[in-house]
A and B are shown apart, each in its own frame.
Chain A
Amino acid sequence: MKAFTTHEGIVAPLDMANVDTDMIIPKQFLKSIKRTGFGPYLFDELRYLDKGEPDMDCSNRPLNKDFVLNQPEYRDASILIARQNFGCGSSREHAPWALEDFGMRVMIAPSFADIFFNNCFKNGLLPIELSEETVDRLFTAVRSNSGYQLKVDLDAQTITTPEGETISFEVDAFRKHCLLNGLDDIALTLEDADAIRAFEAEHRQRAPWLFAG
């Protein structure tokens, strides 16, 4: 997994609540058996005026000019701010894959759906929860300053605004550790293989029917 230490980038404002994973990456793209190449189809139904199909060449598709990521100042955005309950709905990890493939590294919202939140960390993306009020302030700042950038420091758990303000954020210690070091969860868990085996033996005694089939 890609490590995440610090990141500085352009912020795109997606002023919507309850952005669901169907919206982030529509189902027709879930037919792929790979985990890369989803970037061009990120937010497909909002981004393009025609209907997207897997493997389609997106360079000539008609764009929805009103959609934030199509506006010239946000095309290279790598930080996305949105409203509450971002990433709700389907568990598809294709959603963080698409965000990552597009070039996003940080998502900021007042709240995230659980599964999506979790999936982000497995893919080098950092979801940050800030208060509704702070998110609101960021929306205003982004809209009134073209090319607005934020600097995110995961180790220090801070976001620095161009005005020099520092906003701190919470992150779970274990997830932070994995993200900072780009650690593979599976390798980490397998360090506990003995504990798993011991548990399994006990579990088998307690509930033998679970091991009968």
Chain B
Amino acid sequence: MAGKTLYDKLWEQHLVKQRPDGTALIYIDRQLIHEVTSPQAFEGLRLAGRKPWRVEANIATPDHNVPTTTAERSAGLAGIADNVSRIQIQTLDDNCDELGITEFKIDDRRQGIVHVVGPEQGATLPGQTIVCGDSHTSTHGALGALAHGIGTSEVEHVMATQCLLAKKMKNMLVRVDGQLRRGVTAKDMILAIIGKIGTAGGTGYAIEFGGEAVRALSMEGRMTVCNMAIEAGARAGMIAVDEKTIEYCKGRPMAPKGELWEQAATAWRDLVSDDDAVFDKTVVLDAADIAPQVTWGSSPELVGAITDRIPEPAEEKDPTRRKSLERALEYMGLEGGQPIKNIPVEKVFIGSCTNSRIEDLRAAADVVKGHKVSDKIKLAMVVPGSGLVQEQAEAEGLHEVFTEAGFEWREPGCSMCLAMNADKLEPGEHCASTSNRNFEGRQGFGGRSHLVSPAMAAAAAIAGRFIDIREMGES
């Protein structure tokens, strides 16, 4: 019999009941909650007179709507200027208080983007099943967990039953062999993968990322890669457990301690795909072929190397795809054949659950040090992923590197990743963004987002246009 994949193992360890028609009840170890996709679930629970199945399995923090300027944040919840946002966050607080759910509230320094907070607190751990009403829940798969986004009805379902109704996905292995070149990061790796397989390439699959280049990534880098599995169409992305994973979890506030820790660590070491495991699909990339990436269209698959030109839609044979390309270029105000390096940049956003961890901020600060933000840039901002990341960065003096160069240093939250608060693009503005989605209007009505790594975003801020980070070090 063929061996098992990591996904097979995680699935089997959580299978409560298999129905003959292929659907199954899967036990959920951890549910993460934020203010946007939960109010209707709490209301549904209340209307049906139901109680949470296991209160301690839930953990909450507001992130999508929180303001990020220090002035607005200093007055806590009451200080939120936008009424509707304030009510939504208040609603989360009330719901959590009423049911006794642990919440890192807006003025708690442990507050932050839910996908940064989970691993940071040890609330998400290897071997768990993790859900959240947010598609980037795939991030937590970096720890060797089965983590995926769900809709609000499912949030309510998990609260009420501790289970999710699911169908087993197929197995896909994305293997990145060899070593990444200097200046090329986890973000470039995942953008290159999406460029190769497309935004629907992983639909119906759970993706395991493996290979030498993936193993070589730090835990932060692995989270960046798994974060964007959903942009490749896969609800779940994951990476096998190794000593790095275990080391990362050790000592985190909610991680097991003492004897339980030893027991857990032993069990976690088995969270790898067996050597003879069979994948339904395997995609292989050579890390050495990956250059720093920049998206030029309004879908993450419309991506190229910094040294590339934007493709000519006229050369595209498939009519539906040609139409999408034309539409994307029109929206982006760009033309086929244009070198990516010539794309102007007006705003720079370093943040989001993809790239707002300490390592990301260090990488950006490294590039920024000793330089000034170009006068072509209207706004360059850095938004740490959590209050603890912010604290760490400040202890290392990174905030000074950023502010001296002309960046704004903000309070933690989702911020301009989806522009639900005041941080947004104006129509027509191009933004070098370390976030994960460049959809039309995503970062503000009419805004034009280009997804890049933190180092590339920092370099764009200094140059006022996209430049190849690999050249910057040499000048």
Could you list which residues of chain A lie within 8 angstroms of chain B, going by C-beta atoms? Answer: 15-18, 20, 22-23, 26-28, 30-35, 45, 51, 54-55, 83-85, 88-93, 96, 111, 113-115, 118-119, 122-123, 172-175, 184-186, 189-190, 192-193, 195-196, 199-200, 203, 206-213
Contacts and interface: CB of A to CB of B under 8 A. Distances in A.
A16 B254 CA distance: 45
A118 B91 CA distance: 26
B385 interface: no
A57 B53 CA distance: 40
Contacts of A84: 200, 320
B261 A209 contact: yes
20 contacts: A18-B200, A22-B437, A30-B420, A31-B36, A34-B40, A45-B441, A51-B445, A88-B200, A88-B233, A89-B135, A90-B134, A93-B37, A119-B154, A184-B48, A185-B157, A189-B157, A196-B53, A200-B27, A206-B13, A208-B263
B29 interface: yes
Nearest to A34: B40
Contact of B88 (A33, A90, A210): A33
Contacts of A207: 127, 264, 267
A115 B27 CA distance: 18
B16 A17 contact: no
Contacts of A115: 135, 149-151, 235
Interface string B128-152: 1000011100000000000001111
A22 B441 contact: yes
Given A18-B299, A203-B27, A27 B418 contact: yes
B440 interface: yes
Contacts of A45: 440-441, 445
A119 B203 CA distance: 15
Given A172-B23, A196-B162, A22 B439 contact: yes
A195 B17 contact: yes
Nearest to A46: B440
Contact of B439 (A51, A89, A93): A89
Contact of A93 (B53, B152, B235): B152
Contacts of A212: 256, 260
A18 B199 contact: yes
B27 A114 contact: no
A7 B48 CA distance: 29
Given A31-B420, A91-B133, A93-B152, A190 B203 contact: no
A211 to B, nearest CB: 8
